[in-house]
Amino acid sequence: MRYPGILLATLGLFVLGSIHITLAQTLSSNTVKYKLTYNKTTEVYTVWVHPDYNTPNANNPGTNELSATAQVSLKVPKSFVIQNITDILGFWQKDPRKLGDPALDPDLANETYDSEARYYAIGKAPIESDLGKFTVGDSVALFTFKGNGCQGPVSILDPTDPFIAAAFNAASLNVRGSFYSRSGQTGGGNEIPREQFIAKKGPDAFCGDNAQIGISKRVVSVINNNNGSYNITFRLKAVNSGGVALTNVQIFDTLSKAFPLPTTYSLVGGVTTTPAVPVNTSYTGTGTNTSLLAGTSGLAVSDSIMINFTVRVVTASGSFQNIAWAQGSANGTLVRDKSTDGNSADPDQNGTPGNNGLPTPIVINQTGDLALFTSVSNKLPQVNDNVTIRVVVKNQGQVIATGVEVKDVLPVGLDLLSPAGAGSYTAGTWTIGTIAVGDSAELFLTVKVVSMGVQYYTAEVSKMNESDVDSSPNNGIETEDDFGRTCVSAPITLCSSQAVEIAVPTGFTNVQWFKNNSPIPNATSAKLTVIAAGSYTFTSTNSTCPTGGCCPVIVEEVDCCPVQVCVPVVITRTKRNAAGSQP
């Protein structure tokens, strides 16, 4: 494998020998993110490491973080050239190679990635560098650089960016960002280093006004024509998520990559938009004819365009993936975004759609697929507190789900105050009806906690007209995705002279009880007698807790002695006898 930056190093006293970095490196428990900022006054970009942990820690007893090797990868506009790389902490490569041009690397022409962009992978020299103290949430500057003018947004390369796989497939280049330090590895000898870099942090760095575009794409329906073909309806949404108006907005969708031979496809009807904008009436999704719009429309700040079209696919069956791109111009600068599956271009709502990019899955001959999720607003309430249980049923399939019903069980320790949400709810039954592809139905149950101890709420899809690809309604199997369980735990009060017995739910084997996260010797039965305050949890070989997460049993010692009672006493004077005693 070749590396465009300086990647191989030793980790001081912690690792002996060379590091063999792969695209599937084991992840460390101490993770970091990279972020990029831009100073308009000085025209300087700064790369930062953003730790999710503190020093010292279990892996690194020192006050400061010591980094052996790292790689920061950047995505830049096609004409952007990195210049004047200046070290702040560590020694960074000064002349990184510019990547991503299919004219220079013809093998890239067969790969799927944003070929309108270019890429840099900047490595740190294999010398252990003191980066100072790490504190959760406090970014540490690593190096700076300049560009050859304001060409558009520059960003940390997201770990999910398709260029990572493209560079590896085409030229055996590892362009994924990486970070290795003492805190990332356990001490004491040889081991395979653990990757610490997990994501980019914050928005892209933009040298001009904040121009952004985002795009989402989802499958609305898959209809079997019963003749070997299927009509697949797509919906795309492009949104101006920046701070300036965009012109020349265009959407690209290369269907020939989504449906390679021997599968064939054709457009059914034309491309429609909401609001109505000029479209490419000859769109085929093949070759150079991959633009859905005429490219003459603009988008005001926060405005969006919805695009719908239907493709007839001829195939026996199969799974496919589709990616679309959106672009627009602001003051002569081109901004682009890769589509992410779903209804929102920015599902993590961090203001940066560019760090969301999941291909839209297309499965031919797929049945329905409902998934149920449960959560509670407060897992550790007090008795008489009100909490809200949230139940979500999502249609993850590609057919409309109809006749949907959910059965639930509210434990006796929770009193129902009020239900709210989609459909109708009566005690034990939530009737939903229809859920469109990609949509969800939500139920909110406000309940009052009336008993001490752990209370488990369960819910399961009990009816749907379609068959489900990975579960069966109303079968009570917790491991299926149409079953959900959540819990609340109100403290149990314990008198100093009393004991209380707690037990795990049925079905758990080889139990080990813990008190305050420490194992209790010989506490391996389903039941445990508790005589002291603490937080009690358990593990077992077939599960660590019921589906939906554990609730610890909280035991609190209280003063159970009765309040002192005053009893009226009548005092009578008497004479003492000769011996000094009373008669």
CA distance 215 to 197: 26
Q: State the pLDDT at residue 9.
A: 34
Beta bridge partners of 430: 406, 425
CA distance 143 to 74: 13
Q: What is the 8-class DSSP label of residue 279? A: B
Q: State the pLDDT at residue 64.
A: 96
Per-residue pLDDT tens over the stretch 532-541:
999 998 888 7
Q: Is the Cβ–Cβ distance between 219 and 234 less than 8 Å?
A: yes
Q: What is the 8-class DSSP label of residue 544? A: S
Q: State the pLDDT at residue 337.
A: 93
CA distance 557 to 498: 10
Q: Which helix (H) or strand (E) holds 240?
A: none
Q: Counting beta carbons within 10 angstroms of the beta carbon of residue 137, is it exposed (0 to 12), middle (13 to 18) or buried (19 or more)?
A: exposed
- Phi-psi region for residue 197, left (φ > 0), alpha (ψ -120 to 50) or beta? beta
Q: Counting beta carbons within 10 angstroms of the beta carbon of residue 160, is it exposed (0 to 12), middle (13 to 18) or buried (19 or more)?
A: middle
For 68, 145, 305, 381, the CA distances from 92, given in Å and listed in that order, are 12, 11, 43, 51
Whether the link from the prior residue into 262 is cis, omega within 30° of 0, is: yes
Tokens of 116: 């309108």
Q: State the pLDDT at residue 490.
A: 93
Q: Counting beta carbons within 10 angstroms of the beta carbon of residue 507, is it exposed (0 to 12), middle (13 to 18) or buried (19 or more)?
A: exposed
Q: State the pLDDT at residue 467.
A: 84
Q: Is the Cβ–Cβ distance between 218 and 396 less than 8 Å?
A: no
Q: What is the 8-class DSSP label of residue 182? A: G
pLDDT, block means (10 residues), the chain with 583 residues:
36 30 67 91 93 93 94 95 96 96 91 93 95 93 94 90 94 94 80 88 79 92 84 95 89 94 93 96 92 94 94 87 93 87 86 85 82 93 95 88 94 94 94 91 96 92 90 90 92 85 79 90 91 88 56 85 47 50 46
CA distance 274 to 308: 9
CA distance 432 to 442: 9
Task: Report all structural domains of the chain as residue ranges with CATH numbers, in order of start.
Answer: 27-201 (2.60.40), 214-364 (2.60.40.10), 370-488 (2.60.40.1530), 493-558 (2.60.40.10)
Tokens of 329: 């111009």
Q: Measuring CA to CA, which residue among 315, 309, 276 is closest to residue 291?
A: 309
Mapping DSSP onto H, E and C, the string for 397-419 reads CCCCEEEEEEEEECCCCEEEEEE
> Which residue matches tokens 């006004």?
209
Q: State the pLDDT at residue 189.
A: 57
Q: Concatenated DSSP letters for 433-494?
A: EEE-TT-EEEEEEEEEE-SSEEEEEEEEEEE-SS-BSS--TTS--TTSTTEEEEEEEEPEEE
Q: Counting beta carbons within 10 angstroms of the beta carbon of residue 189, is it exposed (0 to 12), middle (13 to 18) or buried (19 or more)?
A: exposed
- What's the predicted TM-score (pTM) here? 0.45
